[in-house]
Structure 1
Amino acid sequence: MRPIIGITMGDAAGVGPEIIAKALADESTFKIGRPVVIGDATIMERAVDITETELNVVSVSTVDECVFEPGTIEVIDLRLLTEGVSFGQVSEAAGNAAFRYVERAVELAKAKKINAICTAPLNKEAMQKAGHLYPGHTEILAELTGTTDFSMMLSAPNLKVIHLTTHVGLRKAIDTINPERTYKVISLAHETLAAAGNKQPKIAVCGINPHAGENGLFGEGEEEEKLVPAIEKARGEGIDVEGPYPADTLFFRAARGDFDIVVACYHDQGHVPIKVMGLEAGVNITVGLKGGIVRTSVDHGTAFDIAGKNIADERSLLAAYRDAVELAPK
């Protein structure tokens, strides 16, 4: 079964529509999944013209109208930007539209009309100018689904990482980590991969200190206090989890295939290995959303400086789409 993936168009003044057009010109997207764009058909028609992809844009009102044929971009057409927007300009209209696309995608996911959400980039300034005061996609999705406990997962070829903490300073990150949070993230990693078809994923947890503390030589016992109780609890419930292991060798082992996913303790510990794998291949994934909704995203912004010039690289969107197909609940 090819899952239905709802692709939100993002900010129309940025590169989102262009990279969607380029990605859907690749027939492999239809072989592995069934894509439907949630946005504005007129904007997608402009993107097709700019990218010279010779795709046929079809405006639809419901997913049930879609036929998912290669050579066609079917758009759940919200008709919010019929007047168009200028490339590279912060626009209240585009910011509002980008929010509404995500809102509709969540509605469709809740109704089981789509199996996963893949998001093109939005512009935070434009969205907030329109009165939608969110830092980004994750917070929008959390509120729309009523979720309070979620996590960021990053994916690159041969490596998946999920985080205990993300956008906080290092000292606060260490203070924030506790056995409850560690257990929750281990469980989210297990549940997400199990729902995608890997019934017994192998999970490894990074240490906080160099050499994972090396039996108390480094740090102040953070591994034993904050990580080990959660690992033992999860293991007692049948989850295949190991660690804590030294981060300087763990990511190599995971990329080699020893583990399906790594639990990172803080932002850079998890992000650096993914970025090293290649910026164009990185995918940002939100896991733990209520209803089992999976959201994947490109790992870049709206790129206002190159929007409309047909030079935007679609590889991150293709990677995000493929991960949405892989992680969509089976």
Structure 2
Amino acid sequence: MDTAPSERAIQPVFRFAPSPNGYLHLGHAYSALLNEALAAAAGGLWLLRIEDIDTTRCRPAFEQAIYEDLAWLGLSWPEPVLRQSTEQAAYRDALARLDAMGLLYPCAASRQDIAAAVARREEGGAVWPRDPDGAPRHPGLVERLSRTEAEALRSRGEPLAWRLDMERALARIAADDSPLVWTRFTAGGELSTVAAQPERWGDVVLARKDIGTSYHLSVVVDDARQGVTHVVRGKDLEPATDLHCLLQRLLGLPTPRYLHHDLIQDQAGEKLAKSRGSTALRDLRAEGLTPEDLRARLGFAPRHS
């Protein structure tokens, strides 16, 4: 007899979500292969998602290279691929819901404004607190705009960012009388509960001036819309999980389980990064490296034909 949908086991869903702002390197290959391997071991599937909201840095040529590099590795994925640049309506809806809760406020400050405000506060030798990414934490850096002031700026065509009021958001969570936690999982299947600390992010930007959304908001919305149950990504993104957990609670979205893997490093001990010009997969391929060579180099078993 068929089982009711509510009683069926939920199929695990993993995702690999690169940004097309440069060519993939070994670190991306490791993350993609690990997602595929863990999805296969769990009897689930993995999705490819293109996180291209940053139109100033993302390029069609880099997106095409992502497809080519992953196919060269022997990976395949369900179609169509979700591209964040086509999903702005979903992000606007999430922002509107947070705004209706009184959790957002407009911010017109530029990076130069913020840097100047930090310098003034640090003149006496004190160090202004930073978020996990190293950016100066809000609130208290610049004066908040009123809605009337914000509307006047917008009517003149001046762009605004929207920040999360962290104090109000945390007060709303506290009223739930339920701890804000997320679940860490390992490749071996072990689970542990982690207490989230989103307050270390301060009043984070959820909608940038130039793109109307942010990585943090978009990734949370997309994971929920795509039914992602397991997020596998680098350790550098582990602090962001606290913030994502908060946004998921506020928006009434499910919280996936998370695994944050070690980062591939270069000979200097630095993590590989597009911005640092790390050797791209396409360059390794041009040098004669085969997919099996790369799998062995990264610690994955050969793919059986």
- TM-score under structure 1 length normalisation: 0.28
